[in-house]
C-alpha cells in the first residue's frame, strides 16, 4: 500500500475531510501523557511498594503511607519514562465498506484508528499499523508525529474498496492477521484491533480469531473496537430485495417477511453475543462503535469509564496509598 501525496488527489482530500478531523479538538488531551512506561527505572510514575533495603535504596523513595500502615519501612519503585509503541490492526475487508447509518463502517474504523493514536500519543511515541486488505496482510512501519499520522491516513484513504479474487488464491483471514501481529510485533505495548468480526459463527462452533487474540492479550494491553451497522442487527419488512455478499459478490433474491426478519434478528444477536463472549475470555478491552451514532462521543465515554474504573481499582488495591 503506497502512500500518495496528501494534496495531489482531490478524492484523497475529500476522503480525509469525511474523517471529520474535529475529533482532534474533541478527544486530543483526554489521555495525553497518561500511559505507563514498560520498565522500572528513574521516572515519575509510581509502581509497586516493596521492603526498604538499607544501603541500597534511596530514602527519597520511601513510601510513608505503606510504612505507617505496616510499621515496616517500604519504598516505592517508579516506572521509567519510556517510549510507547502501539500497533493497530485495521480490517479493510469488503464487509467494512458497508454502511446504512450516518457513515460507512470503514469511515468509523478509520476514525477509531485516528482517535486511539491521538489518545495514546506523546512526544517520541511511535505507532504503526497492519491492514487486512484484499485477502492480504499489509504493514505500515511505526513512526511518530502528526505528519506520520497524516501519512497513515493517506495510505488508508487511497486503499481501493471492493475485493480482488483469483482462482485458488490463499486468502488471509482476521485470525491470520492477528497471528501475524503476534508474531511480528513482540515489543510490549498497546495493540488495537478494529473489525466488524462478521466471520464469527452465530450458533456455536470455534471462534476462528479467539486463540490468536488471547495470545496477543497475554503479552500486550489490547483494545478491540467492534464496528457495527444497524442493518446487521435488524432488517425492515420491505418484501423482495436483492442482497449481495460483499466478499464473494454473489447476489441472492430474498423476501424479507416478518418471519425472516425475526430469524435474522435472532442470528444477529447470537453472533454479537459470540463476539462478546470470545472477547471476555481473551481478557481484552471492548469498545463498540455504530455507524448510526456519534462514535466520537461513544469513544470519549468509553475512555472516561476506563479511567474511572482504573481509579476505583487503585483505591481498593492493597499497598496503594489512598
- Model confidence over 309-320: pLDDT tens digits? 766 665 655 554
Residue 264 scores a pLDDT above 80: yes
Average pLDDT taken over every residue of the chain: 80
Q: What is the pLDDT of residue 52?
A: 82
**pLDDT digits over 106-160, tens only?**
999 998 998 888 777 665 688 999 999 988 999 999 888 877 888 888 888 888 8
Q: What is the pLDDT of residue 196?
A: 96
CA distances from 217 to 182, 210, 301 (A): 9, 10, 23
Give, to the nearest 10 degrees, the angle between helix 146-158 and helix 10-18: 110
CA distances from 188 to 86, 90, 280 (A): 9, 19, 21
pLDDT average, residue stretch 173-199? 93
Cβ 216 vs Cβ 180: under 8 Å? no
Q: What is the pLDDT of residue 43?
A: 47
Compute φ and ψ for 161, nearest 5 degrees.
-85, 175
Domains of the chain: residue spans and CATH = 10-32+83-315 (3.40.50.410), 40-79 (no CATH)
Q: What is the pLDDT of residue 1?
A: 58
Least confident range from 36-50, 90-104, 188-202, 259-273: namely 36-50
Residue 268 scores a pLDDT above 70: yes
Residue 286 scores a pLDDT above 80: yes
Amino acid at each position: 500500500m503506497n502512500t500518495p501525496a496528501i494534496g495531489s488527489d482531490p478524492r484523497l482530500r475529500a476522503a480525509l475531510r469525511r474523517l471529520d478531523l474535529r475529533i482532534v479538538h474533541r478527544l486530543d488531551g483526554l489521555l495525553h501523557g497518561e500511559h505507563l512506561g514498560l520498565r522500572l527505572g528513574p521516572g515519575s510514575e509510581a509502581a509497586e511498594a516493596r521492603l526498604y533495603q538499607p544501603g541500597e535504596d534511596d530514602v527519597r523513595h520511601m513510601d510513608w503511607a505503606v510504612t505507617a500502615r505496616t510499621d515496616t519501612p517500604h519504598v516505592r519503585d517508579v516506572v521509567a519514562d519510556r517510549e510507547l509503541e502501539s500497533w493497530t490492526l485495521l480490517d479493510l475487508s469488503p464487509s467494512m465498506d458497508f454502511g446504512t447509518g450516518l457513515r460507512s463502517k470503514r469511515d468509523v474504523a478509520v476514525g477509531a484508528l485516528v482517535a486511539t493514536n491521538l489518545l495514546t500519543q506523546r512526544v517520541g511515541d511511535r505507532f504503526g499499523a497492519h491492514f487486512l486488505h484484499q485477502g492480504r496482510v499489509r504493514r505500515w512501519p511505526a513512526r511518530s508525529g502528526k505528519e506520520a499520522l497524516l501519512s497513515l491516513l493517506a495510505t488508508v484513504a487511497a486503499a481501493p474498496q471492493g475485493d480482488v479474487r483469483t482462482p485458488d488464491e490463499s486468502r488471509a483471514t482476521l485470525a491470520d492477521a492477528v497471528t501475524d501481529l503476534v508474531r511480528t510485533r513482540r515489543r510490549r505495548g498497546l495493540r488495537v484491533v478494529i473489525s466488524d468480526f462478521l466471520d464469527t459463527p452465530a450458533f456455536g462452533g470455534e471462534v476462528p480469531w479467539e486463540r490468536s487474540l488471547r495470545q496477543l492479550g497475554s503479552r500486550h494491553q489490547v483494545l478491540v473496537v467492534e464496528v457495527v451497522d444497524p442493518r446487521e442487527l435488524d432488517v425492515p419488512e420491505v418484501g423482495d430485495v436483492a442482497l449481495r455478499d460483499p466478499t464473494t459478490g454473489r447476489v441472492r433474491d430474498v423476501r424479507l417477511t416478518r418471519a425472516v426478519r425475526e430469524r435474522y434478528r435472532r442470528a444477529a444477536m447470537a453472533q454479537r453475543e459470540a463476539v462478546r463472549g470470545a472477547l471476555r475470555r481473551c481478557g481484552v478491552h471492548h469498545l463498540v462503535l455504530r455507524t448510526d451514532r456519534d462514535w466520537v462521543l461513544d469513544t470519549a465515554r468509553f475512555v472516561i469509564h476506563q479511567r474511572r474504573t482504573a481509579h476505583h481499582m487503585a483505591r481498593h488495591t492493597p499497598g496503594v496509598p489512598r
